[in-house]
Amino acid sequence: MERAISTTPILDQALTCVQSYKALAATVQELASPELQRSIEEGLAQFLTHMPEFNILVNAVEPPHTSWDYLLRNDASQRGEMTMLLMELQCEIDQMAFAIRQAMQQQHPEAEPLSNNSRLVDAWTENLRSVEDHTVWRLAFWRRDHAVHTTYPTTNPLVNQSFYFAIRNELGLDVSTQFRECIRRAITQECPTITARPALHRRLVDLVVQRRRFWNFQRRIRGLSKDAVLWGRDALAPPHFAPGDERFTCPFCFFDLPVAAYRTPRAWTDHVMSDLEGYVCLYETCSSTRSWPETCPHACTSFGAWFTAMAGSFAEGVEWCSHAFACDGRRLEEVHRPRCAAPAVRLDSVCPLCGREPAVEETELRMADAADPLQDDDQNRAKARLLLSHIAGHLEVITPMAFTWNTDRNALDPDRRLFWGDIGSPGGAGGSA
C-alpha cells in the first residue's frame, strides 16, 4: 500500500494562521475608537508590506495548501521548523486579537486605556518584527529559490546515496546507463537533427534520466515494491476519474488535486510538464551549471514562462543569462549595454530539434497567458510563437519519457521498439504502474 508523506500539520497551521489574521482584521472593524482602529489597521498594512509571503497567503484565491506542500513535502526538517514558526506567528496574532477584545469589554473607556492600547499595538508590531525575521523572510527566500522548480530539487541531497534513487531492472541491477542510451536514441528518433546540437541533446537526456530517478525514489518511499517501479505510465492521457470523484492523487507528483481542473488533455499535459520542468533553454551555448540535483537549471514549469524567456530573447535581444555569460555566449556586460549596442538575436524559421519549418496548420499555437491574445502579434512575435509552439510539441513528447518507460531487461533491449504503448505484449516498453 502506498505510504503517503503528509504535510497536513503544516497546511492546517498555515490555514489557521490566515484565519487568525482575518479574525483580527474583522475585530479591528468593531473598535469604538477611530484612532485605535486606524492605528491597528496601519500596523496590519505594515505587517503585510514587510511580510510578502503572508500577504500572498491572506489574499490568495485558493487555500495555501498547494504551494506550501509543493515546497516542503520532501523535507522533514523544514516541515517541522516551518510548523513551529507558523505557530509562533499565529500566537502573536491571537494575542493581539485577545488584547483588543479585552479593551472593547472595558466598562469605562478613558484616555489611559486608549494610550495603553496604542502602546500595546506598538509592542505587538515590534514583536512581529522578530517573528518576521525568523518566519516570513525565510519563506520568501524559499519561494524565491523554488519559484520555478518542481518537487524534484527540494529533496534532501542525501537521497543521491539512497538505494531507491536508481534506475534498476527486475534483477535489482542499476541500468541507468542503458536507460540513458535508450532515451538518447529515442530523442534522436523524435528529433533527427538534434545531433547537430550535442549540448542541447545532452541537456534533454539529463533531464529525462534525472526525473526518472526522482520518480522512482518517490514511488519507493511511498511503499511501491522494487518490481512495481519498473513500469512506466502513459503520462499524457488524463487519469480515469470515477463518477463523483472530486479529488485525486496524481501518480507523478503525488499531490492531492481537484478533478475538475484536470479533465482536459491540455490541462493534464500542462500539469505533467510543470512537474517535469519540461521547457528547457534552447541555447546551445548555455553555460548554466549548478550542483546536483539541478542538472538542468534553465527549465521552466510553464509554457508561458518559457515563451517569455525564449521569445523575449529572440525578439528583443535580452538574452537568457547564466552566471557570467549570456546563453548565446556573450559576456553579461555586453548584454546590459544599451539596446542599440546589443544586436538582437533573430529567430530562425527552422526547428532546431527536427530541422523542419513549422506550418501554422500543423501547429497548436499557444498563448503565454490569458493576456497574450494571438491577434495582437506583430510579425516577429507571430514567428516566435509559431516556432516555440512547434518546439513545445517536441518537448511534450520528450520529457514525459521520464514517466513512460519500463526498465525491465526486455524494455531496455536495443532491438525492441522504445516508446510507451508501441509494444502490446507483456514486458514491453510500456505499462501501467
Q: Angle at which helices 136-145 and 76-104 pack, to 10 degrees? A: 140
Q: Which grid cell is 136?
A: 516570513
How crowded is residue 199: how many other Cβ atoms within 10 Å of its Cβ?
A: 11
Q: Which of 4-13, 92-101, 135-144, 404-413 comes out lowest in average pLDDT?
A: 135-144
Q: Which of 60-74, 142-156, 316-330, 395-409 has the lowest mean pLDDT?
A: 142-156
Model pLDDT, residue 119:
61
Q: Is the pLDDT of residue 294 over 50?
A: no
Q: Which residue has the higher pLDDT, 371 or 66?
A: 371
3-state class of 67 per DSSP? helix
- Which of 156-170, 180-194, 247-261, 341-355 has maximum average pLDDT? 180-194
Q: What is the dihedral angle through the alpha carbons of 260, 263, 266, 269, rounded to the nearest 10 degrees?
A: 100
> Does the pLDDT of residue 292 top 90, yes or no?
no
Neighbour tally for 107: CB within 10 Å: 4
Query: Which cell numbers in the block locate residue 216?
Result: 522512482
pLDDT of residue 425: 32
- Answer yes or no: is pLDDT of 258 > 80: yes
State the sign of the Cα–Cα–Cα–Cα dihedral 145, 14, 3, 429: negative
399's CB contacts (< 8 A; 6+ apart) are 204, 207, 208, 211, 273, 276, 278
Residue 125 has pLDDT above 80, yes or no: no
Instruction: Tell which residue, 349, 355, 350, 348, has the closest CA to residue 193.
Output: 355
Asked whether 19 and 95 are in contact (CB, 8 A), the reply is no
Per-residue pLDDT at 192 exceeds 80? yes
Beta bridge partners of 249: 256
Average per-residue pLDDT for the chain: 70
- DSSP labels for 258-306? EGGGG-SHHHHHHHHHHHHT-EE---TT-----STT-S--SEESSHHHH
> Distance between CA atoms of 216 and 224, rounded to whole angstroms?
9
What does the pLDDT look like over 296-354, one tens digit per residue?
557 777 888 888 777 765 544 445 665 566 776 667 666 666 554 444 445 678 898 98
Q: Cα separation of 331 and 321, whole Å?
A: 9
What is the pLDDT, as a whole number, of residue 194? 92
When comparing pLDDT for 423 and 9, which is higher?
9
Asked if the model's pLDDT at residue 69 lies above 50, the reply is yes
DSSP 298-325: SEESSHHHHHHHHHHHHHH----EETTE
Give pLDDT tens digits for 260-276: 888 899 899 999 998 88
The domain ranges of the chain are 8-147, 153-404
| % pLDDT > 70, the chain | 53
> Could you write out the DSSP letters of every residue in 73-135?
TT-HHHHHHHHHHHHHHHHHHHHHHHHHHHHHT-SS--HHHHHHHHHHHHHHHHHHHHHHHHT
For residue 297, the tally of other CB atoms under 10 A from its CB is 18
What pLDDT does 364 receive? Answer: 84
pLDDT at 183 over 90: yes
Residue range 286-298: mean pLDDT, rounded: 54
The residue count of the chain comes to 433
**Residue 29: exposure state from Cβ atoms within 10 A (0-12, 13-18, ≥19):** exposed
Burial of 59 (0-12, 13-18, 19+ CB in 10 A): exposed
Type and span of the H or E element at 390 = helix 379-398
* Percent of the chain's residues with pLDDT above 90: 12
Cα three-residue angle 365-366-367, rounded to 5 degrees: 130
Q: Per DSSP, what are the bridge partners of residue 322?
A: 325
Contact 312, 381 (CB under 8 A): no
pLDDT value of residue 377: 74
* Cβ neighbourhood burial of 433 (10 Å; 0-12, 13-18, 19+): middle
Distance between CA atoms of residues 14 and 424, nearest Å:
47
What per-residue confidence (pLDDT) applies to 321?
64
Range with lowest mean pLDDT among 46-60, 289-303, 368-382, 419-433: 419-433
pLDDT: is 96 or 147 the higher one? 96
pLDDT of res. 149:
40
Question: Does the structure show a pLDDT above 80 at 288?
Answer: no
Distance separating alpha carbons of residues 169 and 188, to the nearest angstrom = 24
- The whole-number pLDDT of residue 147 equals 37
Taking only the tens place, the pLDDT of each residue in 2-22 is: 333 444 566 666 777 777 777
| Residue 401 pLDDT class (50, 70, 90 cuts) | very high
Question: Which region among 140-144, 230-234, 322-326 has the lowest average model confidence (pLDDT)?
Answer: 140-144
